[in-house]
Amino acid sequence: MSRNFLLLLLLIGPIGTGFAQKRLIDSLGSLLKRHTKEDSVRVSLLVHLATAEMYDHPATAGNYAAQALSISEKIKYGEGLALSYRLIGNAFWAQANQTAALDNFLKGMKIADSINSEQVQADLMGNLGMVYNDMSDYTSALKYYKASLTKQIELKNKLREAVMRLNMGNGYYRLKKADSSLFYYNQSLVMLHQLKDTRTIIDLANIGIGDVYADLGKYDDALQFYYKGKHSSDTTKHHRAMVHSRMSIAKVRMARNQFTAAEKELLECLKFAQEVRLKTYIRDCYELLYKSAQAQGHTRQSFDYFKSYNSCKDSIQNSSEVSRIASLQLEYEMQKKKLEIDVLKKESQIQTEEIKLKNSLLIMSAIVLLFIAAFLFFTFRGFQIQKSLSIQLADRNKEINRQRTELEGQRDKVITLNKEIRAQQNEAILQRDSLAKKNQSIETLNFQVTETNQILEELVTKRTAVLQEQLKRLEEYAYINAFKLRGPVANIIGIVSLLKKENLEEEEAKMVGYLKKSSDELDRVIRSISETLQHGITAYEKQNSENGNK
C-alpha cells in the first residue's frame, strides 16, 4: 500500500502553479478515470486532486476528500482516513466553517495518533493553528504552529517547515510582535526560494512582510512587497494571495486617505473572495468598505456595507460556534490524555512484570544460597512457602466450590425451566388433541346432517309422487262425478219435468213428486262432491306451488 503511494508521488511530482496547476489537475483527473479500482492508489489520486483544488475551489476539493474518505473506510486504510479528514477540514476552513473544520481536523488527528503517522500529525497541528488564528485566538494558534514546526524539523520536511515558519510569522504579526514576525517570514522566504514550485507560498510571505511594514508605518516598503505579491498572484491565479494583496494595498491607501484607490482595490478583492467563498476575507473587505465610505461621508453606502460586514461576521463566529469549538478541543484533549494514560498503564504493567521477574530471580538465588548455607533453614522456608501455597490453594478451592454451587443453582433453575416448558408443551399437545377431536365430531355431525338432508329429499320426492297419484285419482273421480254421474241425474230431472206437464193421476203425481225430490237431493249431493273435490285439487296445487317456490 505504501509502495503504491510513493510511486504515485513520483508520477505526479510537486504541485505547480498557474497553467502547470491546470495541467496537473487534468492529469490527475485522467488518472482517476482510468484507475477505477477502489484501493489506496485511488485514495492517493483523490487526495492529490483535493490538495490541488483546495484554495481555488474548496467545495470541489471537499468532494474529492469525501470520496477518498469513503474508500478508505471500505478498505480500512488508516493513513487515507487521516488525510481525508484533514482535507475535508481544509475545505471547511477555506469556506470559514471553523466548527466543521475543527471537527474533521480532530477526527484526523485521532486516527493519526492511533496509527502513529507523524507527518499527518505534524500537518494537522498546523491546521489546528489555522483554525484558532481565524478565530482570533492567536496564542493557541502559535502553540499549534510551534508544535507542528518542531515535528516538521524532526521529519526533515523542508516544504512543510517553510510553510510553518510562514504561519509563525502570521501568528506573531497578529500579536503585534514585528521583530519575531519578520524573523520567521524571512526564514520562510529563504527556504522557499531554495525549493521548486513555491511561488504561491512566496507570494503569501511577501504580503505578510508587507503587513508588518504597514503596521510599523513604513507604507512605501509595505506597498513594494504588496505589489510584488499582487503581480505574481495575478499570474498564478492564486485567489488567496490575489485577495490578500489587494486588501493590504487598500489598508495602506486608506491610511493615506486615498479612499477612491482603496475602494477600487477592495471591490476587486471582494469579487475574487466571493468567487471562491473566502468568508473571512469577504468579512474584512466589507469592514474596510464601510469604514472607507464612512470616512468619505457616504452614510447610506457605509450602512449597507456595515450590514454586510455584520452578517459575514455573525456567520463566521458566534457564541455557539465558539462553545462548540471549545467542546471539540476539550473532547480531543480528553481522548489524547486517555491514550497517554493507556500507554503509561501498559509501560507500568511491563515494568511491573519485569520487576516481578527480577524478584523471582533474586528469590531463587537467595533460596539457592540459603540452601547451600543452611539446609534446615531452607527446609523451614520451604515449609512456609508450602503453607502459604496451601492457604492460597484452599482459598482457590473455596472460590471454585462457590462457583460450582452457583453453577449448580443455575443448572437447577434451567432444569426447572425445562420442566415448565415440557409441561406447557404437553398442555399444548392436549389442547391440540382436544381440538382435533372436536373437529372430528363436527365433521361427523356435518356428515349426518348431509345424510339426513338426502333422506328428507327422498321422502319429499316419494310423498310428492304419492300426492300426484292421489291428485290424478281425484281428478278422474271428479270427472266421473261431473260427467258420467251427473249426466243420468240430469236426464232424470228432465224426464220429471216432462211428466209434470201432463195430466197425471193423483198417485202418479205423488210418485213423480217423490222422484223429483230424490233427483234434486241426488243433484245436490253430486254438486257437493264436485265442490269438495275441486277444493281439494285447488289446495294441493297451491301447496305444491309454495313448495316449488321454496
pLDDT in tens, 238-285: 888 889 899 999 999 999 999 999 899 999 998 988 887 777 888 889
The burial of 363, by beta-carbon neighbours within 10 Å (0-12 exposed, 13-18 middle, 19 or more buried), is given as exposed
Residue 382's pLDDT band, with cuts at 50, 70 and 90, is confident
Write out pLDDT tens, residues 326-381.
444 545 555 555 555 555 565 566 666 667 677 777 787 778 777 787 778 877 87
Return the higher-pLDDT residue of 540 and 213.
Answer: 213
Distance CA 293, CA 493 (A): 148
- Name the burial class of residue 119, with classes exposed (0-12), middle (13-18) and buried (19+) by CB atoms within 10 angstroms of its CB: middle
Most confident stretch, 97-106, 473-482, 536-545: 97-106
Would you say residue 483 has pLDDT above 70?
A: no
Q: How many CB atoms lie within 10 A of CB 127?
A: 23
Model confidence, pTM = 0.53
Q: Is 80 exceeded by the pLDDT of residue 442? A: yes
Q: Are 246 and 269 in contact (CB under 8 A)?
A: yes
Q: Which residues are within 8 A (CB) of 548 and not within 5 positions of it... i.e. 6 or more apart? A: none
Residue 209: pLDDT above 60?
Answer: yes
* Mean pLDDT over each residue of the chain, to the nearest integer: 80
Mean pLDDT score, 439-454: 83
Which span out of 72-76, 404-408, 488-492 was modeled with the highest average pLDDT?
Answer: 72-76
Q: Which three cell numbers stand for residue 371?
A: 540452601
| The pLDDT of residue 220 | 92
Whole-angstrom distance, CA of residue 249 vs CA of residue 95:
23
Cα separation, 174 vs 176, in Å, equals 5
- Report CA-CA distances (Å) from 178 to 148, 184, 216, 225, 307: 22, 10, 8, 16, 33
- Contact assessment for residue 243 and residue 266, using Cβ atoms and an 8 Å cutoff: no
Among 134, 222, 146, which Cα is nearest to 184's?
Answer: 146
pLDDT in tens, 390-399: 788 888 888 8
In angstroms, the CA 309 to CA 315 distance is 10
Range in 38-47, 157-166, 340-349 the model is least confident about: 340-349
pLDDT at 403 over 50: yes
The lowest-confidence range among 72-81, 154-163, 314-323, 541-550 is: 314-323
Crossing angle of helices 158-174 and 178-193, rounded to 10°: 160
Distances (CA, A) of 415 to 34, 173, 412, 420, 421: 65, 79, 5, 9, 10
Q: Kindly tell me if the per-residue pLDDT of 146 is higher than 60.
A: yes
Choice among 122-136, 208-222, 294-308, 430-444 with the minimum mean pLDDT: 430-444
| pLDDT, mean of residues 92-105 | 84
pLDDT of 465 strictly over 90? no
CA 496/CA 250 separation, integer angstroms = 158
Distance of CA 38 to the CA centre of its chain: 22
Specify the pLDDT at position 2: 37
Contact call for residues 63 and 55 (beta carbons, < 8 A): no
Confidence category of residue 56, pLDDT binned at 50, 70, 90? confident
Q: Using alpha carbons, select from 286, 289, 281 the residue that is nearest to residue 308.
A: 286
Average pLDDT value for residue range 398-427: 84
Enter the C-alpha cell of residue 177.
Answer: 510582535
| The predicted structure's pLDDT at residue 145 | 92
Least confident of 57-71, 395-409, 499-513: 499-513
pLDDT at 330: 46
| Domain 1-116 falls under CATH 2.40.30.10 | no
CA dihedral 497, 501, 505, 506 (to 10 degrees): 60
Percent of the chain with pLDDT over 90: 27
Nearest to 170 by CA among 128, 138, 192: 138
pLDDT above 80 for 512:
no
State how far the alpha carbon of 50 is from the alpha carbons of 47, 83, 412, in Å: 5, 10, 65
Tens-digit pLDDT profile for residues 422-437: 888 888 888 888 888 8
Q: C-alpha cell of 512?
A: 213423480
Does residue 302 register a pLDDT over 70? yes
Cα separation, 453 vs 225, whole angstroms = 117
For 216, the grid coordinates are 510599523
Place 15 in a pLDDT band, splitting at 50, 70 and 90.
Answer: very low
* Euclidean distance between CA atoms 224 and 220, whole angstroms: 6
Which pLDDT score, from 0 to 100, does residue 353 have?
67
What is the Cα 488 distance to its own chain's centre? 113
In the DSSP assignment, the letter for residue 136 is T
Distance (Å, whole) CA 248 – CA 131:
21
Total residues belonging to the chain: 550
Rounded to whole angstroms, the Cα distance separating 455 from 79 reads 92
pLDDT at 238: 81
